[in-house]
Each structure stands twice: as structure tokens, then as C-alpha cells.
Structure 1
Amino acid sequence: MSSETRARNYKLKALTDLWTGSVILEERNGQIKEKTVPDRLITTGLLGSIRWWFEVLVRGLGGNACDPTDTKCEDRNHCVVCELFGCTGWARKFRFEVLDEKGNIRKAKNNNETKISPQIKKDEKFIFRFTALRPICDEEWALLDATLCLIAKYGAIGGKTVLKPTDKDSRASKLHHKDYGLVQMDTSQKFTETRRDHLEQYLSKWKKFDYGEFAWASLKHFWCVNGKYLGRVDNAKSTFNQVLGCQPAKNQGQQLATCNDGIAKWLAGSKQESKKVFSFKNPARTFGFVKPGLIDFNTMKQRLTNAWGQNGWDLLTGEEIIGKLFAGREGYS
């Protein structure tokens, strides 16, 4: 297990806009209201998304990653994810930067005396740079490398990846129907060739956790269909809600679909809890998670078949994706 302290650059291209903006508070007519700000780059938003997928991969390989919403990780008593990304009393091992395609740090622009970096837009090329501040072992680099490949080929990055596509031209430009977060990896090859069984052995040595309700967030329970999307067909039909198992609203446009049974409620999520199905129209991609004891891959595949029919698509399970991630040296693009 060797360690390295050099920087690594990953070249990417945005296939959609990337959302790393946030909600800010502003005063309107004497009242404080929330305002959505999509047109800015917040690198911590990207890094948080990379960390989440890193956790999903680690659990999928049989390792343990803490639940960041209820973590006991601190100082040297931490999980393998916190070892690299940091936690209370333990600093992150690397510096993370977003560069333009020429290798320069993306410049901030002045906006009302506040310097902000502009949002990464569709078709823009950019670079993720990870500069080691302390030694990073081969296994950590390999896991990071596989995580970025996972995001590019089967997932998405940043915020606002839960919005619903639509086939209605009059609504396609609405913010809540736009795609965000899809990228293409243009790095020519993997930096580190580490076998799956070696990584599993490495992960087995770290702190163990009881995930409880968070156990679904593992590549073991992940699925992906490239080339197909779910969305609103017309005022009376939404294939997205059909797959979730939610009933269409009685008054379209004014009421949300209702999700009454346990499976539908879990898949749909809530304001405090993420959805478990994500879909994008251009380029088309749909992915999500199943939950043992509640909904399995066969049930999810049948729901997708009811929406799309049987032909023209293939559901990849997390186990199949792991096999592809560690199938040997291959290009990203």
C-alpha cells in the first residue's frame, strides 16, 4: 500500500448545467423570503456530492461508511470515508479545486460587491483537481477514481437532480423540469488499477456501522437505465409518478400526486428525505435505489416495464455496475 502526495486532474464535460447554487434570504416588502440562486459555482456542493457517491461505492464493496446525518466519527475513531474526506477533529487529506479546461482556477466575478464563481453550463469543459495535503494511499485513489467514473456513467453530480422531465413543450423551459448534474469523463484512463478483491480486503479493516434506515444508500441496492427517462406525458399522465406508485392529482397543476402506500412514500421521499428515483431527459438516464424488505430489483423492473414496455432498454444492477467499474483498464470517454 503505497502513498502519494501529488495532484490528480480529472477532465470532464458538462452534458447539462450543474446546480451547486443555493437558497438565499432577501427582504421583499419588509418580509424575509427565500430566493433560489442557480447561477453560481459552490465547490463544496460538488465535493459533498462526490463524497455521497464515494459512500455509496464503499458500502457496495462491503465496506462501512458513517451516516453523515448521525455520525459518531471523530478524530482517529472514524470510517474509511472520513479518513479521506475528513470529519470532526480529522482534516480532509486533499485540496479540491475546479479548473477551466486550460487548467486555470475558474475565476470569480463581482456581483453586488460579492465575488462568486459562475455556474458550470452545458457543454462546458472543466477539471476537478485533487491535491494531496497528506499521503493518500493507492486504495483511496482507486476508490475516488471509481467514484468519479460511477458518477459520469451511471449517476449525476450536484444539487437539483430530482426534478422531473416533461414532454410538454410549453413547460420544458421551466426550472423544475430542466436537467442538471450529468457529466462526461474525458480523462483518457484510470490513474490506479486496483483489483476489486484487494479493495474489499482494504475496506474490511475499517470501523463497522449499523446503518439502520440509511442502509439503502449502497451500490448493492442501486440500479441504472441509460437511454430512457421518466416524466410528465400530459396533464393526465406522468410515467415518473407511475413508477413511484403515486396516484395522479385530481386537480392537475394545483395539487401534488398522492403517494399512499409504504413503497410509494419511500420512493417519493419528502422535503426532509431524498427521492429514490432520479430521471433526466437529455441525455436520457434514469437511476435509483431499492430497499431490501420493501422493494426489490424485480419489482422495480416491472414498474419500469409498465412505463416503457419491455424492449429498448436494459436495467443494470449495482453488482453489474461494480463489475464494469473494476473490469480492467478502460477509457472514460
Structure 2
Amino acid sequence: MEVKDWQLKALTPIWTGDAGGNGDRLIPTGIMGALRWWFEVLVRGLGGRACDPTTEVRCPDKNVQQADKPGHHCVVCELFGCTGWARKFRLMVLDEHDQVIQNQIQADQTFILRFVPLRPIREEEWCLLDATLRLIADYGAMGGKTVFKPSDESNRQNQLHHQDFGIVAVDRRPEGIDCNQQLASTFVHGSRNRRNFQDNSFSWASLQHFWCVKGRYLARQDSQRSSFNRVIGRDMRKNRSQQLFQNTNINRWLAGRQQESKKVFSFKHPEVARRTFGFVKPRLVNFQEIESRLGQVWSEFEAEHEFQQGEQIIEKLFQMKEGI
């Protein structure tokens, strides 16, 4: 079974953090968690079903006792594992000299994600894993602290909670990965995958509901103005920034709350990878609402050309050829 390497470059520090919340060490499970989360987003975007391992509907299915029987676990757990079904690979995070990285990955540092198969990994799974890494690099972010928001205030923009984390670029991909949308879509719809579970509380985390604008960011401008807060529906005044501007269902969902993430993410640095992305939720907030809110805070915003939706991004991901 062939080992596969993806060589990445960190454009910002990557925060994984230990049990005490310290970020000076690299915790590989933090990388693993990010990979799995975005893998789930991609699978749902292709029309597949993916459980959320943090909820009560996580795999395995309690009614299917044998792990190798159809319906025991979802297509994501097939690769990443669940109770009774081990992960198919071991992840190693290495430097350019093939040494295990132990300290936090810093900006401009090159690192390698090495996937060592422990059991056979299907061609379609390599395809989805490759697309996931490119999705993170081109449109998303990796690791913790990605919910931090930038600031344009000169005396605050370098504080920890205004710094950018988790932006990476893919420098080199493995050769020989045959990846096309039809292959991936057919695989995630496979009859062996577990599908009979309620996912209403987390199905919004799908590439079908994803949007991204490159080259722009949301931030706090001063104590009275915050383009970020205006978009998510919070009061723009700093001393009331945890309060909603209007207590609507849309604002409550976009702004999140304790133990529930915001649904908009923005990154100011580095300028070449500047981006803002987020999610919509069917029957609550649509793409047009997000476009309208962004248009209120960004001058000369041309949504038709700048605002990318999930379906467009899926097409771009699967148009990629081998190599970089």
C-alpha cells in the first residue's frame, strides 16, 4: 500500500493547541479534525450523507452490529474511522527533512502531510482527500482560532484574537490520483454507506451551502464600526459587540453563540490569500441575503464576479489535473 504525501506551505501560523489551550506545540489530532470536518463538507456537497461525530447521531448505526455490513457507518467514517471501525490511515506531519514536527507550524514554513495506509484505501477516497486539501487551501482554513476576526485598529490588530491562523497553500500533490466529480459523486452515494440518520442540525455544513469571496476581508474599523459585526448581525459598537443589532433568526444563526461557531470567517493576512467565506442555511438565510450584506460594507463589490458559491467551487475542484 503506497504512502502519499501532500506538501503544503503555511501562509499564517497554524493553531492546533493542547488540552490547556496552549498553541506552541503541534497536536496532529487538530490537523486530523480539520481534515475530517472539511471532508464532511465536501461529501455533503456532492450529495452524500456524513454524520457529525460530536452528536448523538454519530456512527456507528446502533442497529448494525457488524462493522463490515452495509449501513454500519457513513462514507466519511469509512476513511476516518468510528467506534468499531478503525481509521484507514496514519497521519504524519513532517518537515522538509522528513522529521516529525513537534512545535507549532509558523508562517512561511513548509510541511508535509503523509498518509500511511493501514488498510487498503480506495481510489475514490484518495480523490476526495485530495479535493479536501485543495478546498482548505484555496477557499477555507485549517486548525483552530479560525473564528478570530481581523482588526484595522493600529493599536489592536496584532493582538492574538485579531490574528489570522490556518491559511495554507498546496505546493505539491501526489501523482496518479484520478479525480473527477462523477467518480466522487457515485462513491459518496454508495449503497453500503450509512444514510438513515437525522442531520438537520448540521446539514448546513455542506459545500452546497458554502460561499467565498477572495481578496476581501471583514474587520473592526474603530470602536463604533465593524464590517464583520454588521454582516453577521451584531451591534457594531465595541462595548455592545456581543449583542445582536436585531434579534432575528438569521442574525442569531450567523452570529453563533457560546459553544456554537459563527457562520462567517474572514482573513486579512497574507494579502495574496485574503478571503472571506461562510455558509447559508436553507429556509433561513440564502446566498442573496449574504451578497446584500456584503454589498453594504464593501465598496464596489461586484457579487456577480466576486461571490463564489459552492456549486462553482465543486466544479473547479474537480477540474484540477495531476500535480501543481
TM-score above 0.5: yes
The 1:84/1:217 distance shift into structure 2, 3 A limit, reads same
Matched, 1:277 2:264: yes
| Structure 2 counterpart of 1:311 | 301
| Structure 2 counterpart of 1:13 | 9
Please give the per-residue CA displacement for 1:203-250, whole angstroms capped at 9, x wherever unaligned: 11122133112110000000011110001011110000010122234x
Letter paired with 2:178: E
Q: 2:229–2:241: 8 Å Cα contact kept in structure 1?
A: no
Please give the per-residue CA displacement for 1:172-202, whole angstroms capped at 9, x wherever unaligned: 1111000000001001566412321122111
Matched, 1:128 2:93: no
Please give the per-residue CA displacement for 1:121-147, whole angstroms capped at 9, x wherever unaligned: 111110000000100000000000000
Which stretch of structure 1 is more off in the superposition, 185-194 or 312-321?
Answer: 185-194
The 1:161/1:328 distance shift into structure 2, 3 A limit, reads closer
| Structure 1 counterpart of 2:64 | none
Q: 1:193–1:328: 8 Å Cα contact kept in structure 2?
A: no
Equivalent-residue separation in structure 1 for 2:175 and 2:296 (angstroms): 38
Q: 1:97–1:128: 8 Å Cα contact kept in structure 2?
A: yes
Equivalent-residue separation in structure 2 for 1:188 and 1:91 (angstroms): 25
Which stretch of structure 1 is more off in the superposition, 67-76 or 235-244?
Answer: 67-76
Q: CA deviation at 1:307?
A: 0.9
Equivalent-residue separation in structure 2 for 1:195 and 1:93 (angstroms): 22
Aligned match for 2:281, one of 271, 282, 291: 291
Unaligned runs of 5+ in 2: 61-66
Q: 1:157–1:182: 8 Å Cα contact kept in structure 2?
A: yes
Q: 2:137–2:168: 8 Å Cα contact kept in structure 1?
A: yes
Aligned match for 1:243, one of 213, 231, 236: 231
Letter paired with 2:4: R
Q: 1:64–1:203: 8 Å Cα contact kept in structure 2?
A: yes
Q: 2:6–2:112: 8 Å Cα contact kept in structure 1?
A: yes
TM-score scaled to structure 2, two decimals?
A: 0.90
* RMSD, matched Cα: 1.6
Q: 1:241–1:257: 8 Å Cα contact kept in structure 2?
A: no
Aligned residues: 305
Q: 2:150–2:267: 8 Å Cα contact kept in structure 1?
A: yes
**Equivalent position SS for 1:13:** strand
- Richer in strand (by share): 1
Please give the per-residue CA displacement for 1:52-77, whole angstroms capped at 9, x wherever unaligned: 00000000001111121223412340
Aligned match for 1:231, one of 201, 210, 219: 219
Aligned match for 1:101, one of 84, 96, 104: 96
